[in-house]
Amino acid sequence: MRWINLKTNLQKGIFTVAVGLVLWFLPVPAGLKPQAMHMFAIFVATIVGFILHPLPIGAIALISVGLTGFLKVVKPAEALSGFGNATIWLIVSAFLFALGFIKSGLGKRIAYKIMAAIGSSSLKLGYTMAITDFIISPATPSNTARGGGILFPIVRSLCVAFESEPDEKSRKRIGSYLMKSTFQADCITSSMFITSVAPNSLCVALAAQSVGVNLSWGGWALACIVPGLLALVICPYLVYKLFPPELKETPEAPEIARKELAAMGPMSSDEKTVLGVFILALGLWATSSFTGFNATMIALVCIGIMLARHAIEWEDVIKEKGAWDTLVWMGGLMSLATALNKSGFIKWFAKIVAANMGGITGITALIILCLIYMYAHYGFASLSAHVSAMFAAFAAVAVAAGAPAGLTAMALASLTGIMGGLTHYATGPAPIYFGAGYLTQAEWWKIGFICSIVNVICFLGVGTIWWKVIGLW
C-alpha atoms less than 13 angstroms from C-alpha of 433 in its C-beta half-sphere: 37
Distance CA 169, CA 64 (A): 51
Distance CA 382, CA 377 (A): 8
Q: How many CB atoms lie within 10 A of CB 275?
A: 18
> Which residues are 249's β-sheet partners?
121
- Which of 91-100, 156-165, 184-193, 368-377 shows the lowest mean pLDDT across its residues? 91-100
Say whether pLDDT at 101 is over 70: yes
**Percent residues over pLDDT 90 in the chain:** 45
Instruction: Enumerate residues 6+ apart whose C-beta is below 8 A from 381.
Output: 51, 425, 426
DSSP string, 357-389: STT--HHHHHHHHHHHHHHGGGG-S-HHHHHHH
Distance CA 190, CA 409 (A): 16
Say whether pLDDT at 236 is over 90: yes
Distance CA 198, CA 183 (A): 17
Distance CA 11, CA 38 (A): 23
Give the per-residue pLDDT at 31: 84
CA dihedral 362, 363, 367, 372 (to 10 degrees): 10
Where does residue 245 rank: exposed (0-12), middle (13-18), buried (19+ CB within 10 A)?
Answer: buried
Mean pLDDT of 109-125: 87
**Percent residues over pLDDT 70 in the chain:** 97
Say whether pLDDT at 270 is over 90: yes
Q: Which tops the pLDDT comparison, 192 or 116?
A: 192
Say whether pLDDT at 96 is over 90: no
